[in-house]
Amino acid sequence: MMGHSKEQSMADINPTNNNLVIGEGVTFKGSISAPGKAVINGNVTGELTADDLLIGTKGQVTGTVRAREIDVHGELNEDIVCKEHLLIHSTGKVSGTLEYHELEIQRGGKFKGNMNQK
């Protein structure tokens, strides 16, 4: 019994609890604020704020995006502010207005729009 309650308390403080995952096939319209990591494999339209944003190969995000770190394997469109590092993978497509600190684009990755380094 003692071991079980200890496991339970460990799960309560699990750092993955403040993470968000939007699965493949899921469509979300509105405003999201994730204090941890946001993994988007579906379709999000609106406002998205996260510490660490990962857009999967099937993921698509359109709107106002604010994050410390962004990894793009899919699509990211519109108004983007990346406080630290933005990585556009070979399958990634980013378009719109981008404000960033560090930018990395792998061979095959695409960017279209205006970019401004802070």
pTM of the model: 0.85
Task: Give 60-81 pLDDT, tens digit per residue.
Answer: 999 999 999 999 999 999 999 9
Out of 13-17, 22-26, 104-108, which region has the weakest mean confidence (pLDDT)? Answer: 13-17
Mean pLDDT estimate for the chain: 90
Q: What is the pLDDT of residue 17?
A: 74
Q: What is the pLDDT of residue 9?
A: 45
Q: How many CA atoms lie within 13 A of 11 on its CB side?
A: 6
CA distance 64 to 1: 48
C-alpha to C-alpha distances, 14 to 11, 20, 32, 81, nearest whole angstrom? 5, 14, 21, 28
